[in-house]
Amino acid sequence: MTKSPALYRVILLVWAALFGLALLTTAGSLSREITQRPVAGVLALVTLLFIGYFWLNGIKDVLYTAWCYLVMRGRIRPVRRRKLHRHPPRVVMVYCTRNDFNANSLAASMKQRYTNVHTVILDDSDKPEYLTMIDIFAATHDVQVVRRENHVGFKAGNLNNYLTGADYDYFVILDSDEIIPPRFIRRMLDYFASDQSIGIVQATHVATRNVTRFQQKFSLGVDSHWPVYQSVKNRYGFLSLLGHGAMVSKQAFDAAGGFPLMVAEDLCFSLAVREHGYTTVFAPDVTCQEEFPVDYLAFRKRHSKWTQGNMEFIRKNTRPIMTSRQLHWYEKLDIVLFTYALPLTAVFSVFVVINVVVLPMMHASFQFPLWMLIPTVAFLVAPMVNDVVFHWARMAHTKLLSYSGGSMMLYGSMYFTSLRSSLKSMFGNSVFLVTPKDSTAISFREALRSTRSELIFAGVLAVISLVFTRSVFPVFLLVLPAMVAPYLMVRHQPTRAELHERQRGKVLQAA
């Protein structure tokens, strides 16, 4: 598929008009401030640049949704079906696991309407119960198990350990909770046959098996994100392998030299594949199933992994991205706006320090025009626009409102996790964290203990704001979600019935 810069031209045009207006209305005040009080003036200018970047991200979220429904509607067409050759390609399904084996998911995924395929379990587990469960499953279903002596390179190292030198034409990546449809392989081969430059085909996903209240409440975002954002990226941005539910050609794997040994191995691999002339495409008609994190703690752990992975990606790939001759300018911008958002939390802290501590200490009197508050607030809720539009006709509006408010609190409460994870990765090594698949009931006291870092952070931030600005308002949107974190944890914790159901499923798998 030929990519187009049309969407990002519109995004930049709208942003330039809005930010240009902000520059015009603040130019005089900024000029006087810089002349009379250079340090305060420069800090005010830095604040304006922060606001401009925030607006650009907000415009991107709004226009991504609008473009999908207004411009691309009716134009998202899957490739046509094709007949298989007399000798169908050799396909291997690689199931990656580390102490989170799900027999039901793998058994369901293996029911492929395709003959020349075999399954390999790439097992990095070190807990005896999982090792036993996997061995029993492998013996029962005639599945190969590959284990390695060391666990270097996280998931990427696990994949490379088997795929390098193995005999196949294509491989399918399955995560522990992944369920792919019976015609997955057959349909993916249609996409590869449509264009010889395709190296990766990524399927869409929905969240299923939502047993806990946390999953039932917040998994709605999965169903709305995949078909909209990935469809738009497929045509107008940089589409990446998203770690699971995808098929990759051996030619692309060999050309890229395998998966880079990084936490965000999927994103890094997609970039390496692209640099060697292969593309990633989206298959909107191939729907896989995944599980949303079971509770708040699991969600927070996954969020930390994503942040560390993205920060590591920024440190090691920013220069190659900017100097790449394969990537179009709008693909580079797309990578920056999507991938850099989580790790830039650490940079955003500079914005908070400037406006809550430094400028008040200097008794700076510079104020931005009141009208700038309108787009700022609007773009604050911009990430929820797609969810609202997608689910508007699919669910009760009261439930949708509850989900939207809860999601803002949930993601807002991740600020401290993003900050800590960004700094950890920036000055140390990123760590691949496996998202827990089990959940336990906890008391409110235990919730307070589990979120004490968030609560201390919120308390200190509120006190600093009170001391320097005599108000909590400047940091209210950071303090409130952090203070709500214990409630989110307890309110959406699993009931006894939910815990029993998950335990029953594990027993059945073990049997």
DSSP character string of 216-236: HHHTHHHHHHIIIIIHHHHHH
Segment 478-505 mean pLDDT = 76
DSSP conformation class of 118:
E
Q: If you average pLDDT over each of 35-49, 249-263, 351-365, 467-481, which comes out highest?
A: 249-263
Q: Could you tell me which CATH number the domain at 91-340 has?
A: 3.90.550.10
* pLDDT given at position 358: 86
| pLDDT surpassing 70 at residue 503 | no
- CA-CA distance, 183 to 111, in Å (whole number)? 9
CA distance 424 to 30: 36
Question: What would the pLDDT profile of 72-83 be if each residue is shown by its tens digit?
Answer: 987 778 888 877
Domain range list for the chain: 91-340
Q: Are 33 and 40 spatial neighbours (Cβ–Cβ below 8 Å)?
A: yes
What are the pLDDT digits (tens) for 224-266? Answer: 999 999 999 999 999 999 989 999 999 999 999 999 999 889 9
Q: Which of 270-284, 370-384, 417-431, 475-489 has the lowest mean pLDDT?
A: 417-431
Distance CA 176, CA 198 (A): 26
Q: What pLDDT shows up at residue 57?
A: 94
Q: Is the pLDDT of residue 136 over 90?
A: yes
From the number of C-beta atoms within 10 Å of its C-beta (0-12, 13-18, 19+), residue 234 rates as: buried
What is the tens place of the pLDDT at every residue in 307-329?
998 888 888 999 999 999 999 99
pLDDT classification of 494: cutoffs 50, 70, 90: low
Q: Which residue, 153, 135, 130, is CA-closest to 145?
A: 135
